[in-house]
């Protein structure tokens, strides 16, 4: 059976990629036994059970059905919450797409469904020459775009959708996440995005001070179930 793989990106950092990725994992677990969430690069760590780990990675692990070694589901963990290329530089490391591709392909061999969560937005740099988009291109994975509904999201969402298509990848769908409870004209902005993003809307996440991935309703197409 071919592993269903989805690459999750966002219009920016802090738009809810991890929340949506965890929700996807919960939905996929209703259809598959071996479901894994992966964050190839995580920048910004906290102490957890005596180890330094990304909170995003912890959320993905909690939503996965298969436990794997950390060098597979989070091969690069960087202490400081910075762009990956800067966090790596300050940690004395170099990140290369080839080094991220190996564990990702290994997880595809183990999983029925794999959700790969990016860091930041689509063009976030990994090093002087590569971005995380290059990993998605190497995987040839369809992309899910998480749009954080706030002022400026229209431009960010449409530019990101254009960039994904320009890189030769399929924009499988998008999710709208209400991250600003005071956003003016939220419904009108959502209607604009529906009209201008050439991909299906998989779900709308309402504002919540304490969002729960298990309660998020997503409409996954049959080919991703």
Active site residue 39: yes
Nearest to 213 by CA among 60, 95, 101: 60
End-to-end CA distance of the chain: 13
Beta strands in the chain (DSSP E): 4-10, 35-38, 41-43, 46-48, 51-53, 76-78, 113-121, 143-149, 171-178, 201-205
CA distances from 177 to 71, 99, 151, 163 (A): 30, 31, 13, 20
> Quick one: three-class SS letters along 152-171?
CHHHHHHHHHHHHHHCCCCE
Q: Residue 17's Cα: distance from chain center in Å?
A: 5
From 17, 39, 67, 96, the catalytic residue: 39
For residue 138, the Cα-to-chain-centroid distance in whole angstroms is 16
Closest CA to 129 of 161, 98, 106: 98
Helix (H) or strand (E) run with residue 73 in it? helix 70-73
In 3-state terms, what secondary structure has residue 144? strand
Supply the residues annotated as catalytic: 39
């Amino acid at each position: 059976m071919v592993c269903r793989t989805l690459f999750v990106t966002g219009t920016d950092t802090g738009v809810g990629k991890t929340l949506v990725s965890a929700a996807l994992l919960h939905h996929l677990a209703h259809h598959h036994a071996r479901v894994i969430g992966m964050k190839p690069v995580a920048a910004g760590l906290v102490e957890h059970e005596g180890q330094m780990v990304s909170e995003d990675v912890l959320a993905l692990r909690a939503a996965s059905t298969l436990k794997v070694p950390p060098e597979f589901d989070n091969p690069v963990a960087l202490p400081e919450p910075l762009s990956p290329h800067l966090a790596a530089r300050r940690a004395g490391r170099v990140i290369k797409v080839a080094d991220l591709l190996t564990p990702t392909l290994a997880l595809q061999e183990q999983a029925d469904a794999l959700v790969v969560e990016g860091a930041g937005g689509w063009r976030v740099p990994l090093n002087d020459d590569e971005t995380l988009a290059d990993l998605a291109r190497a995987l040839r994975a369809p992309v899910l775009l998480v749009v954080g509904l706030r002022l400026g999201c229209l431009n960010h969402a449409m530019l990101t959708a254009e960039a994904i298509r320009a890189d030769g990848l399929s924009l499988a769908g998008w999710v709208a996440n209400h991250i600003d409870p005071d956003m003016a004209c939220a419904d009108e902005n959502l209607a604009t995005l529906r009209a201008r993003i050439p991909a299906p809307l998989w779900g709308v996440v309402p504002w919540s001070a304490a969002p729960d991935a298990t309660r998020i309703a997503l409409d996954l197409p049959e080919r991703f179930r």
